[in-house]
Structure formats: structure tokens, C-alpha cells
Chains A and B, each alone.
Chain A
């Protein structure tokens, strides 16, 4: 069989496996098989391109390019695999952003090379394929946006400039840069010249920074998902310019499903995509407006000690634990599970309420609690548990903030207005474990701290819960 046909059949197999893999990935029970199927598809695709490159003698003669390809794959595979193995579960969102940036960067680099090839062909007097040329430009621009945008998202999630940064100047600037982007795309499309293309890449850099920087850390998952979809589209574009159907199919699949996933994530937070991208939730001024109800009024809160809290928890019938990112970041999921087990052994009915966007990405908290071996039957999602708070003795809020903020129900000025929340304030007692009274990740104050039913238990979640576990054991 000739190598071209053999590689095409392997590509076809990989496309089928990707589609089935994605289908499985959206079902809880088959998700892991889905990932394995997609990885198998990728193995087929890699073998196919080896056959295509070596069998078709695509390699430029007289160079070590074949060796370089293998070295490149090995280096990237080792760095990627080791990084992915080493990263802590809490830092998954950053990791996904970083890997997505790699993909976007690769697409931008390929487009740059292809662009140089186009220029070479043009100089040699060959006709320029305009679809391929357009796709190359698209891949370059969108790939760059995905690359730089992901790096900014990574930085923000790692704690550099976490808050939303907005100002009228920045908004005007974004619009100006966006227009500049459109104009330079038009110019380089018409001119078929190299200068506008490199200018385009520079403008794409500025644009992606302006686009991502103003967005608050709490909205980062949506942004990463959007950039993920962008990378997919950029990859599809490189498929057009390289005339590789495998890249077109996979890139487009990711582009389309990533876009839908982005919209679904927004829906889970009851927000629109425009609101996420342009509202700048968590910025200084917005946050003050959000907590404005009680601003200026002296608010008082009550504190509780570990011993008193242990006494309370050991003698009630039901406890609902509401874990948030504060728990995850303090690596307190294991002690929290221990606390849950201890209380359950004392006959307390323990449940974990998982808000859809608890943690930093939808579904992140499920992963973290599962890592700590919290029994599956103890996990409840928002719809299942909200009606139970009224009959519950204690709502134990550990490092969560916005997901229990009652302002989301009525305060139209609040940036989280309309987001479904866990009704912790309806429980008979509320315990909030938190480092301080400072507002949470989204930068919004929370009236639940000042609720007369609330006791604050201050401390780093891991130490605080650890002390509580000791106190419960001593009961």
C-alpha cells in the first residue's frame, strides 16, 4: 500500500476516535475511557504523520530535520508529562492555561513559517493560494491571542494581578487596538507583504493582554475555555494552510465544542459571555458598589474557639459542609474529610454541598474532594441540597465566600447578582472558617459574616480544621 493512503487511513481512524472520545468525555461514567480513546486517536495520528513525512520523502534533503523532529517530540513530551504529573490538583486551572498557551504558540509559529513560505513562493513568481494565505494569517493572529492570553491567565491564576483591572482608558484602548487588528488584517491580506504580518502579530499580543488583564480571577475559567476554543480554531487554520484534513477536523472539533463549553460555563454562573468579558467583576469600584449595602455601618461579627465549635458540631444532628477555594488552597481537603468522618462516626449526618463553580473551575471541587476520598454519596450539588438547609443544624463554610453570598439573590448592584447560591444562611447555625474578614476571590464583601446566626472561626483552613479535628477527638 502506498504511504500516502496508509497515513490517510490512520488519520481517518484518529478522527473517528476523537469524536467518540469527546462523546464519552461528556458522560461521568465513561469520561476516563473517553480520554483514553482520544489519546489512542492521537497515537494513530502521530504514526500517520511519521508515515506521511518519511514515506513521502517530505523531509528537506541534506538536513537533520528528521532527527530534530524526534528530539523535539521527546523534549516536549518529557517536559509536558513531568509538568502534568507534578502539578498539584489545586493548580490544575493554571496548568490547563499553560498547556493551551503552548498549543496556541505552536499554531502561531507554524503560521509564521507558512507565511515565510508564501512570501518565498510569491518572490519566485508562483501564484498565491488566497484561502491558504488567509488561513495562515488567521492562524497567526488567533494563535498569538491564545498564546499571550493564556500566559496572562496563567499569571493571574498564579497570583500576579489577581483582581480585575479596569479603567475607562483601558476600555477605549481595547476598542482602538481591536480596530487596529482588523485594519492590519485587511492591509496584509491585500498587500501580501511581510511587514503587515509581523505588525499583526504584535497587535495581537497587545490585544490579548488588554482582553484578559481586566477580567477578574473568578472568571478566569471561562476565559481559559474561550482561549482553548481559539487555539482549536487556530489549529484548524494551520490545517487549511498546510492542507492537512486531520488538523482541520481536530482543530474545528475543539473550536466548536470549546465555544459551546464556554457558553455552558457562563450559563452555570448565570452570566452572559459579554458580561464575563467586559464587566470586570471584582474590580475595586465595582466591589465597593457590591458591598455597598452595609458600607459605613459598623458591622459586628461573633467568633468561636475550636473547643466550643467541636462541642457544637458533636452534639448536632446534621451538618452541611460547604468547601470553597480557600479550603483547596490551604490543602485542607484531607483534614476536612477526616472531620467529616469523625462527625459521621458520632452519628452526625454529614453532607458536602458542592457549588457548580466552587474552586476555580466548574467541577474543580468535585475533583479535589474525590482526591481526598470524600465518599461520593456525601457529595450533593446545588439543586439537591438547597432545600435541606432549613432543616440543617450547622452549615460549615470552609474557605468559601461568593457561593454563599446572599447578595446574589437581591442586590442588583452586586456583580454576582443572579448567580445561584447555596442557601447556607437558612441553616440554624452558620460557621464560617476563614483567614480574615477580607472579601473573597471576586473582591466582594459578604453579609453572611455579620449574620446573627454566624460564628466566625478564623485561621488558615488546614490549621483551623486540624485543631478542630483534635478538639472533636477530645470530646
Chain B
């Protein structure tokens, strides 16, 4: 399991008999990767992350983070993982310096000079109280705390939600710089796709607690395509394709979004005699919408 920093098999979280937040999740996050965990609000991303950190107990399945079971070894995992929660609430009566002083003794690997460096880089005033900070600055303090102990794995749970675009870009820039400098593994949950595309090399899509796909981003973009078929007459009803995600009919034009695209498979469409066939690349947002959108083929 050493090549994966996070590995789950059949990971399940059931709050009540009817409320299953995570359903038999099989997840593999390779060491050194930036893995973007995509999903709509309420898809089960936060529940998954909380299970990985031992904040929630799994109902069934297996999970390993850095080779350790989060239910049995939460403290050793937390020592080696940097975590930023969605809208992380810290002690608002503390100053930034007091927050740092409070957290520092918990981590044997805490690096004071790195903390100082991050304070400067993020332009955080040490004496400001947490309650006086904007949401963006609050996020930066959370990121500083997650990074200053030099974690092997950084888990970010929708850290930019609620931030305005300018602050979000600054925040992301900070993350990108750190990823490049420190070559860390980053597990980054978000529902804002454009930001995910900037930094990811792996992507997983979660919908209603189920992992729809998990692939290297390049491979994902190679396999998920849009095929535009234009017919002279009526569009045949029985047009299909392996891994069909979405089918849209606009007049004599049929647009197929597919997840298992190969040039060979494209040849199978020739029997429907389209006037023209065009294969279009999709960006991550289009892919995500195709996978989880209302019009997706079940």
C-alpha cells in the first residue's frame, strides 16, 4: 500500500438506515499526486475526509491513510497530515500568534522558520485576533497551521468555498507554490471545478456517496469526449456508444457525451450514416457536469 497515501476499499458511512452518506468507496490516491476530489454539495466529500482523519467512524469497509487505519491510529495520522476544513472555525478570541503557539506543541515536526515564512508570504498580522480576520485571511491561517508542521499529506476540504474570486485565486496561488516547492501529496476536495483543473493531476468524482470515476486528469480528458453527429434526415433513435453519459438532440444534430472514448469505438457510429462526425475535447467542468448533471444517462 506504500505507493498510495490514501487507500480505501468499500468505505461506507451510514448515519441512519436511510441516510448513507458514503457508499462503498474505493479510492486510491498515489503518493506525490495532487488529487482533486470533486462532487456537488452534499455528495459525501466532507464525510469521506472526516473518516480519513478519524473524526468520523466508518460503518463498513477499510481505510488507510499513510498506511494507518484512521479509526485505530487517529493521532499518528493527524501528526503527519495537514488538514484545512471547509470554513475552518478556530478560536476567535486568540490572536494569530496565540493560535500558532497553541498548535505548535502538538506537532513534533513543527518548523518555526517555515511558520514565520508563511506568515510573511500570506501577509498575516501576528497580533490580529482570529475574529477580526476576513474569511480569506482565516483560510490562510488555517493553511499556515496545516503546512507549518511539514505534513506528508495535505487534505484540503473545500478550502476556498465562500471566498471571493480574487481571494480564491490568491489562496490557490499559495497552494500551488507550496505544492511545487515541497512536492507534497495533496488531496483537495472542491465543488469549484475551474480551480481544480489548475492544480490537479488526478481527479475523482463523487456523487451521492458513490465514486463515479477516479483517473489521472490527462487520461480522463482523453477518455471523456463529446461526439457531434450531423444527419441529413431524421436522427436514428438507436444511436449508442460505449460509456454514454449524455445524449442531446438538436434538430438534425446529435451530441453524445461519452466516457470511454476510443478512435476504434468511433468507427461503430459509421453504420448510422451521419453526414459528418466531429470529436470535441471537454474541460473538467464539462466532464463533471456530464457525469453528475440531471441529464446524465443513468
User: Is B truly associated with A?
Assistant: no
* A residues neighboring B (CB under 8 Å): none
* B residues neighboring A (CB under 8 Å): none
